[in-house]
Structure 1
């Protein structure tokens, strides 16, 4: 899971963004579940990266709503 670049997010259509957001939220829920069960995370920074991607998508969506 790599960080999404702002330019990549802006190129996506609204539907693609919503789909990506749903996918990221599922990934986050899964990773938090693994963490809560006491499992060692395969990638310790993954939860933060997912949260950052979600925030970027939401920020761009909010910017476009205001225009």
Structure 2
């Protein structure tokens, strides 16, 4: 799943899911903490961005673990 951002999203009554943009492997966890931990590891391995969504579906946090297209000094 190279170059596909990883999202931690609500999975209804099942808990929280970790999934890549455009489909592929989706893994469900009982808690958001577990999903964030697994999503972080997956994003680090794939060198992509991790986007963490709240219960309302809005992105509440993002972390980049690889290619950052912006050229920012400092």
Q: Same fold by TM (over 0.5)? A: no
- Flag the structure with higher helix content: 1
Structure-2-length-normalised TM-score: 0.33
Larger Rg: 1
Structure-1-length-normalised TM-score: 0.36
- Flag the structure with higher strand content: 2
